Amino acid sequence: MKRILPLLLAISLLATNLFAFSGFDDIFAPTTSLDESAKPTVSGSGSVGADVGVFLDDLHFSEQLLRLNLLVDSQSFKSEAALSYDALDQSLQVSTASVTYFFDWGQIEAGLLKEEWGSADGLHVVDVLNAFDYSKGFSDDLASMKRSEFMVGTTLYKGSSSLQLYFKPTFTPGLSAMEGRWSLLPQTLTLTIKEPPKTDSWEYAQFALRGRTSIGGVDLGLLYYRGHMAQPGAVLTMTGMTTADMDIVYTPYQLFGTEATYLLGQFTFMAEGGYLLSKDRPGSDPTLYNSKWVYLGGVSYLEPTSNLYLALMYNGHFVEHYDKVEPNALDVDQAQAFDNKAYGNTLTLAMEVPLFRERVKVRLGATYQIETEGYALLPSIGWQVSDTLLLECKAVVYGSLGSKSSVFKTWEGNDSLTIGMTHYF
């Protein structure tokens, strides 16, 4: 991973013979009233920021992050990198780092990328290109929870339609904590994880395809993905009353999905759906996930005077052959089920209120899982102190209306508050 940055910088330097896109340069002359009377051959911009967070139960730090985003942009090439340094883990992470080459009818990009599939606002059921990292709970910025992955992608445009092709030579699975306050494992069980599969091999190469078009005011997309499910399956071997060995396995599957949006006045209607065809089609292997249906429907509203934004979304899933799950077989579908049901239904609310001429933005994200009665609240407020300085305060609250076990119930003691600052340059 560390080799990617020098490579990016080298490619960026190679692009210096090209002129930058900093507006419609073929039409406008450099403006003397701007502080760029001599436009650079390559433009750079970015942001630097820091986040400090605490858990509310014991005021221990939950987060100490330094963030740096860089963009080098020219007419034919663009290179971007987002880095973060975690002071708690003392680790430098490359969130994304990519190079894009543009040509007349499309683009090719390569690098550590995070891509977003699906038509809904933020929350998706067909967004499968990147796995999620749940090792530090939830964030209102879902993109920040994604694990970037090396991929090569191309987008081809024709009129209002486009076709995206992605190839991922390796597989980066989902991540969750195995110990500590974010662990979802029973605390009474001590697991010994055997050597995990080497997913950085051709055996785990993935392929994805997405076509989008507009038909009569409806934006429509068709999706196909062939790879492995991000959440791991497992073979558990009990070695004692409270100890077990765990072999991790990943379920090969294909996604056949669709996405659509339709605008009606100030309302936007969103829909996503997909069928995940598992390698375990009969649902007989307890270590692999069964095939399942996923679906999402939602509506958002933009109030034209105040620019108040509201969105309400429903998403659900239905696991096939769940009736074949044997309770004592330690089936992964059962382990992932909501209240031991084949289906799951979740409601999500999102709201944003701009105030004081967009200097202040108040946001709220809330999700409620119907079967387990678990919920999460993610309120935040952002203050644009100046054109280059943003202060944000975010909170995350987990809870449950009942006693049923769920991720929200497990994380009840992990409520946190984070204060962040971002300087744009």
Partner 1 sequence: MKRVRPMLLALLIFTLTLPLMAAEQPQEIMKKVMEVQSSNSSALELLLTLTDAGGQARERQLQTLSLTEEGRTSSITVFLSPASVKNTRFLSVENSTGKSEQWIYLPALKRVKRIAANEEGGSFMGSDFSYSDMASTTYDATEATHTLLEETATTYTIRSVPFDKSSYGKTETTVDKSTYLPLQVDFYAKDGLTLEKQLVTQKMEQMQGRWVPKVLTMTTVASGHTTRLEILQAQYDIAMNSNYFTTKFLETGRP
Sites of contact with partner 1 (CB under 8 A):
21-24, 26-29, 31, 33-34, 45, 47, 73, 75, 102, 107, 116, 143, 155, 157, 159-160, 162, 217, 219, 261, 263, 265-268, 302-307, 354, 357-359, 384, 386-388, 390, 424-425
Nearer to partner 1 among residue 41 and residue 160 (C-beta): 160
Nearest distance, CB of residue 268 and partner 1, angstroms: 7
Nearer to partner 1 among residue 144 and residue 176 (C-beta): 144
* Spatial distance between the Cα atoms of 322 and 292, rounded to a whole number of angstroms: 10
- Given a contact cutoff of 8 angstroms between Cβ atoms, the answer to whether 133 and 150 are in contact is no
Of 420, 422, 423, nearest to 52 by C-alpha is 420
Nearer to partner 1 among residue 190 and residue 307 (C-beta): 307
Nearest distance, CB of residue 271 and partner 1, angstroms: 14
* Spatial distance between the Cα atoms of 288 and 232, rounded to a whole number of angstroms: 9
Please, what's the b/e burial string for 404-420 (b: 16 or more CB within 10 A of its CB; e: otherwise)?
A: bbbbbbbbeebbbbbeb
Please, what's the b/e burial string for 32-65 (b: 16 or more CB within 10 A of its CB; e: otherwise)?
A: eeeeeeebeebbeebbebbbebbbeeeeeebbbb
Nearer to partner 1 among residue 37 and residue 187 (C-beta): 37
Nearer to partner 1 among residue 96 and residue 176 (C-beta): 96
Nearest distance, CB of residue 317 and partner 1, angstroms: 24
10 Å CB burial of residue 31 (0-12, 13-18, 19+) is exposed
Nearest distance, CB of residue 5 and partner 1, angstroms: 20
Q: What is the dihedral of CA 317, 126, 401, 408, to 10 degrees?
A: 120
* Spatial distance between the Cα atoms of 107 and 76, rounded to a whole number of angstroms: 9
Nearest distance, CB of residue 102 and partner 1, angstroms: 5
Nearest distance, CB of residue 134 and partner 1, angstroms: 21
Nearer to partner 1 among residue 192 and residue 307 (C-beta): 307
Which residue(s) pair with 382 in the sheet? 361, 392
Nearest distance, CB of residue 378 and partner 1, angstroms: 17
* Spatial distance between the Cα atoms of 258 and 221, rounded to a whole number of angstroms: 5
Nearer to partner 1 among residue 233 and residue 382 (C-beta): 382
Nearest distance, CB of residue 173 and partner 1, angstroms: 23
Q: List Cα–Cα distances, 232 to 146, 252, 265, 332, in angstroms.
A: 16, 11, 43, 9
Of 324, 329, 330, 328, nearest to 342 by C-alpha is 324
Nearer to partner 1 among residue 102 and residue 182 (C-beta): 102
* Spatial distance between the Cα atoms of 149 and 205, rounded to a whole number of angstroms: 12
Nearer to partner 1 among residue 400 and residue 422 (C-beta): 422
Nearer to partner 1 among residue 239 and residue 266 (C-beta): 266
Q: Look at the block and give the residue holding tokens 């943003």.
A: 390
Nearest distance, CB of residue 229 and partner 1, angstroms: 25
* Spatial distance between the Cα atoms of 224 and 227, rounded to a whole number of angstroms: 10
Nearest distance, CB of residue 414 and partner 1, angstroms: 27
Of 91, 125, 98, nearest to 114 by C-alpha is 98
Tell me which amino acid residue 311 is: A
